[in-house]
Structures are given as C-alpha cells and as structure tokens.
Structure 1
C-alpha cells in the first residue's frame, strides 16, 4: 500500500521470503479511531494527539478528563519547590484551552494537597468541563477548601446536569436550592467531608428518582436524614461518622444494604423496609452489641446478614425481647481498645444465637491485642452450661482470635453440644484486627514473613491451642469438621533464652 502522511497504525509482517509488508490503519472510519482514542489513559491520549491529525481532532473532544498528579505527570522532585501547583495548573489550563467542551463523559479533578487553586480558576475549569452529556463528576479537594469553596450548583442548570449519573464531592459545600431539578439521571452520590444540611439533601432528592447508591461520610452539618418514598431504586445507603446526625428516617421501599457508623440516634426504616444486609457500628463509647440485640429486631425485621463491630462493650449481652426471624449470617467483631470490659462474658453471646432461629453462619472475631480475661487454666469452677437452647440450623462457626478465656471455651462447647446441624468449626488462634483482605500468614499471602505480632499475643495463641486440645477436641462429634489455625511455626515461634 502507498505510504500516507498520517499513519495511525503500522505492523511489520515478515513472511517466509523475508519481505516486509506495511499496513496503515488510517483507512478505518474516523469514529472508530475516536473510540480507540477515548479508551486511552489521558497521558497516552495526549501523546497520540501530538503525532496524529486524526487523534488531534478527537483530542479536542476527548470524553475522559482525568486530572490527577499521576495522569498529568506532576512530580515534586521534577517541578521543584512550590512548582507542583504551577505545573498542575498550567497543564489543566492547557488541556481545557484546547478542548471544545463537547463530548465530555467523565471529569475527575483531584487537586494535590500542596496546590492552592484560585476559586475563580476552579469554577472556570468546571464551567468548561461540565457540559450537556457529561455522566460522571468527581471533585477531590484538600481540607483547606472545605470552609472556603461551595460547588456551583448553577453549572448544573440549563440541561448540563441532567445527564450526570455519578456525583462525587470531597471537602467543599454543596447547597442544592429549593426547586433543584437538575440531576434527574443521578444514580450514585458520594459526599465526603461535604457541608450539606438535611433540607438541602431533601432538595437534591426531590427529582433524583433514579438514585440507587448514596454515601454520606463525615458530613458534619447533617442533623437529620430523611429519605422519601419516591426513591424506589435506592438500594444502598452508607452513613459514616456524621457526628451531628440525630435522625435517620428512610421510606425507600427497596433499600437492600445499609452501612452505619456513628452515634446512636432515632433510626426508622419504614414498614415496607426490605433491608437484607446491615453493617452496624456505634462510636467508641456505646455498647453496639447490646444496642443491636435490643433495638434492631423490630427496626430491621427482614435482615438476613448482620455485621456488628463493637469498640466498647461494658456489659454482657442481654436476652432479646424480639427475634431476627430471617437472619442467616451473623458476624461480630469485638475490636476492644481501651474501653472494652476485661470481664466481658463471651457465653452471653448465646442470646444472639437464641434470637436468630434461622441462623446458618456465625463468625466471631476478637482483637486479642487488648482483651483481658480469666484463663480456663487454673480456674477451679465447673464449666457452665445453658440448658434448653437448640440452634438447629447453624452449620458453620468460625472464631477468629480464639483465646484461653474460660467464657470463650464455654461458648464453643455450648455450640458443639446444641448446634445439631453443625458441619464445621474453625478456630483461629492468631487475630489482631482486620487488615486488607484479612490475610495474616506468610503461606497464604506468599510473602517471606507473617505480619508482626507482639510476644504476649503469641504466648496467648499457644495457650489457646492448649485449651482446644484439653476442652474442645474431645467434644467434637465425628460429623463435624474441626479446623484449627495455629501460630506460624516459623514467624510466630517463641524464642527461649537459656540462662
């Protein structure tokens, strides 16, 4: 084929005779090359536009504007002291100056911590990028902007906001006014460290009929969260550390997953609630387990999966007045820290098993680093038994951070004797909290060494193994598979110093 000035693609194909043939892709339709160009990372797309007229034309309407230090190749050591802000600003200005403002689908603006971008310049960038047809807007600002910058809602008027499906804002104010009807296609909202009131959220909800996913994290101005019934598609809600929040009322009929971390307040999910999965944590000074067993059965009657995290449990788990009739999977993480009672009775967790007649999976995780307890060894009192309690559907039990506490041994023995359908029991003697994917041993993560663990925890893990051997193994029926996770023989070995 004859050579062309604008070669987009060349391939060398050596045949058996050693001849070289060249193929030019410039004959393909331009819309195909524009689509290929749109799939490139921003840096590669810019480089391609420098060497190809076809890509230069598509560059002027590139759909994905991803402005971060990494995509713009802004490095502190290359830009010099104070040069990061200048370099970042110059490159964003240059890209947007050459952009037509047409065809933008995604805008990600992640301003580095060292940058102090003028508010007028920031609004100018948004005015160019937020145009009809845009679908995703993500603005990451550093904390200095939180009290100084308010996202300009006016940019969403005139049809510019009706195509937005995903809105993510960080460290700014967001003040939707009364009659706000600019985000009709919105399916996902993520607000982190955003100043917004309950009434302003109500203005946002007023016409966001397509909303499916809502996350509110550290929104300190939020006192009341009321979700209206017309948000029929809303299935996921996360509320995290909104410390002034006192009321959560949801009438969304199809809310399926709810994640909450904060202070206890008035929680109402409506009579038509369909919440199946709940991840629930109260702040450090509250008894999450006690609150959950006394309040949640009537609040979330359709619950099937419950994950509880407690940082402060000063009282034993009480008996439940109501039952979790549909609960199948229960995970309890006793994180401990300073406020956890050293005399907490693990056997009292039987109350949760009794309150969950359909329970099939029970996972208990205990942070050994902070737990103080009376060991089963040297305790002359007889093992306690709770009679008349059967857990007929319980099939899988796992205890992470199994220790030699007498009440934990009693809980395990109780389950073995009363869970008539139990198929497997797993006890893990090493656990110090969830990190990453909860992989703590070198042979699982294919690394040369396990995660470092204090010596006293390793000693306790060996005491736990003794407790399993002395009190658990002999009680395990043949039909139940017992899995015991021991300390790593290489990384968790105890050095004995001879005199």
Structure 2
C-alpha cells in the first residue's frame, strides 16, 4: 500500500497553524475579564457560583455578580414530598440561610446593583436578616427588596428596623419596596415618615398590606419621589403627596388626595374597594389636584348615580381614560351612560 502524499512541509506547517488558531479562537477563557463578568451577570447567582469549578481563572469571577437574588426556589432543590412538615420548613430555612451566608461572605461587595431576599422568615430570624441588610447597605446596592412572607400566621412577622436605613446609610438607594409581610406589617405613620425623610434619592416606593398606616405623608419640599404604589392598607385615611410625583397606583377605600398644591401627576391607576361612583370620585376627589393628568385608569363599583358639583373641572391634558365599572342595585339606581358625556 502506498502512502498518500498530503503536501510539502510548508503545507503541513500552514495547516497546523490554522488548526491552532481555530482552537484558540474557540476558547471562552481568552475573553477579557470584564466581558466574562458581564456574561456571568446574566445568570442567576446560584448558576454563576457553579462556574467557579471550571478552572482557576473562573474561580473568583462570580465574586462581582451585580444581581444577588435569593429565593427558596432559586437556592434550594424542589422538595420531594409535599406538604412539608414544620420540621421540614425549619430545615429548609436553615439550609437557605447557610447558602446565602456562604455567597455573601465570598462576594466582593463591589458593583452590586440589585439585592433581593424572598423567603418565609419571621422575627426570630432577625439577626440573620439584619446581617443581610448590612451587607446590602455596605455594598451600596441601588435596589433592595425584602419579601418575608411567613409560612405561619401564628408567628410574629419580621420587625424591620428602619434605623438600618438612616440618611447616612441609604443615600445610594434608588428603589426601595415595602412588600407584603404575612398578615401585615407593624409599620406606623411615623415609621414611614422616618423612612422617606431618610432617603434623599428615593424615586419609587411601594407599600402593601401595611395594616397600621392611617396617613401617607410625602409632601416634604425636597422629596424626590416620582412613583408611589399603595395597596391594601385598610386603615389609610389620607395621602399628602409631594409636588414632583408623576405616577400613582392605589387600591383601597376612597380617600382624598391632599397635596400642598397642584400635583404634576401624569399617570394614575385607582382601584376603589368601596362603593363610590366613578364620576363623583373624579370630580370631587381628584378635582383640581391633578391638572396635568394624562392617563387615568379607574376601577369602581357603581351603586347610585353620581352627585356632581355645578362647575366641573376640565382635564385638558387627559389622553387615555379607562373605566372598569361594576354596576349594582336596582335598574333605577344605575348610572346613565349619558352621565359620562361630561368627560
């Protein structure tokens, strides 16, 4: 059998060089470190940590991950058997705590944009939670979200210490959310006022199920708040809003907006859980407070015809209006569709 001649020595050298270049071009590790870190930032933190076993070069890349989102589903495997016993719940919370602590202890604390903790924790885990809050503050995270929906209504929910977010510690925060805590939180009017006054760059505030709130007061002249979401605060009676607010989402009883002057509000989404005619709410509750309103979504229950003032305010800037109305009562008490011609 004759050997096949595949070319000269020069051809062989050229072939080997091309193969070598192709192999080198396929190496992900040849990319600059900042690009590799950017790629890792698109992964959940658990998956990013797993890349540390690839090589010595990858071992520490995840230490600069900007999005630290810790949830039971992302940090722990799905339980094999359901429902879980109380002992199973405690074991899962303990394992969750250990994994979160391990990540935070190895993280550099640099370049953090978003920190979220979502797990069923109660007040007896206060030390662990405060430790996580301190990490988020020290890392200068711009967004900090807590959702400690407790699994047991018989156990006291986590009592958030607002002193952790005083003025000197929270200057970097640009988005803060007070989310739903079990049967509600024990945050009072004074607590909320302290929180808002201590955050001089706060632009978005979401409040849900804060059952002790009776008044939301945000009318401080230097308050930069632009977006406010308030839901399911059943004792709320009034809201004093800051002049620069541009978006308001609200669900609850019909209350009066009492700003220090006319608002810059452009977008409102209101869902009233009591019986208040929509037109009556628009022309008596909103009235002259929102002259620049451009978008209004209103959910109401209509049980009677609206009683309107003699002179109606004109919403000169209103571009989008959506009314979702539920009609109750006898036919004579229902609203007349022609009533809405005044809009």
TM class by shorter chain equals 0.7 to 0.9
1:216·1:240 contact (CA, 8 Å) conserved in 2?
A: yes
Which string of whole-angstrom CA distances, capped at 9 and with x for unpartnered residues, describes residues 144-169 of structure 1?
Answer: 58844222445446954322222223
Instruction: Report the RMSD for the aligned CA atoms in angstroms.
Output: 3.5
Aligned equivalent of 2:205, options 211, 214, 231 = 214
**C-alpha spacing 1:220/1:22, structure 2 compared with 1 (3 Å):** same
Q: Which residue of 1 aligns with 2:294?
A: 304
Asked if structure 2 preserves the Cα contact closer than 8 Å seen for 1:234 and 1:254, the reply is yes
SS of residue in 2 equivalent to 1:55:
coil
How many angstroms does 1:59 deviate by? 2.7
CA contact (8 A) 2:67 2:114 kept: yes
Residue 170 in structure 1 maps to residue 184 in structure 2: no
Q: For 1:41, which of 39, 44, 58 is the aligned residue?
A: 44
Q: 2:134 aligns with which of 122, 127, 131?
A: 127
Matched positions, count: 316
1:89·1:117 contact (CA, 8 Å) conserved in 2?
no
| Aligned residues of 1:195 and 1:220 also touching (Cα < 8 A) | yes
Asked which structure has the greater RCO (Cα within 8 Å, sep 6+), the reply is 2
Provide, for residues 118-157 of structure 1, a one-character-per-residue CA deviation record: whole Å limited to 9, x for no partner. Answer: 3323333333444142222111101458844222445446
Separation in 1, partners of 2:264, 2:136: 39
Distance 2:180 2:145 in 1: 12
1:150 to 159, 164, 167: 159
**Kept after mapping to 1: 8 A contact 2:143/2:176:** yes
CA shift digits 1:449-498 (9 cap, x unpaired):
xxxxxxxxxxxxxxxxxxxxxxxxxxxxxxxxxxxxxxxxxxxxxxxxxx
Work out whether residues 112 and 141 of structure 2, in 8 Å CA contact, stay in contact via their aligned partners in 1. Answer: yes
Corresponding residue for residue 22 of structure 1: 23
State the alpha-carbon separation in 2 of the partners of residues 72 and 212 from structure 1.
Answer: 30
> How do 1:242-257 residues align onto structure 2 when only pairs under 5 Å count?
242-250=233-241, 252-257=242-247
Quick one: distance in 1 between partners of 2:340 and 2:195?
A: 39
Corresponding position of 1:109: 117
Q: Which runs of 5+ in 1 are unaligned?
A: 1-14, 174-191, 357-499
Pairing 1:445-456 to 2, within 5 Å after superposition: none
Contact 1:320/1:352 (CA < 8 Å) preserved in 2? Answer: no
Indicate yes or no: 2:305 matched with 1:316.
yes
Partners of 2:52 and 2:247 in 1: CA distance: 44
- State the distance in 1 between where 2:278 and 2:135 align: 48
Q: CA deviation at 1:108?
A: 1.3
In structure 1, distance between residues paired with 2:64 and 2:238: 45
Q: How does 1:181-200 map to 2 (within 5 A)?
A: 193-200=184-191
Separation (CA, whole Å) in 1 of partners of 2:167 and 2:314: 49
> How far, CA to CA, are the matches of 1:274 and 1:158 in structure 2?
26
Distance 2:144 2:109 in 1: 14
Paired residue secondary structure (2:39):
helix
Distance in 1, matches of 2:163 and 2:288, equals: 43
Q: Is the 8 A contact 1:194 1:219 kept in 2?
A: yes
Which residue of structure 2 lines up, in the alignment, with residue 402 of structure 1? none
1:235 is aligned to: 226
What's the TM-score, normalizing by structure 2? Answer: 0.77
Q: Distance in 1 between matches of 2:166 and 2:227?
A: 27
Measured after TM superposition, the shift of residue 244 of structure 1 is 0.9
Q: Distance in 2 between matches of 1:328 and 1:298?
A: 17
Q: 1:236 to 1:99 in 2, by over 3 A?
A: closer
Correspondent of 1:280 among 260, 270, 275: 270
**C-alpha separation between the residues in 1 aligned to 2:249 and 2:157?**
30
Aligned 8 A contact 1:132 1:161 in 2: no
| d(CA) in 1 for partners of 2:277, 2:95 | 50
CA deviations 1:168-203 (Å, max 9, x no partner) are: 233559xxxxxxxxxxxxxxxxxx944322222222
Q: Does 1:96 align with 2:104?
A: yes
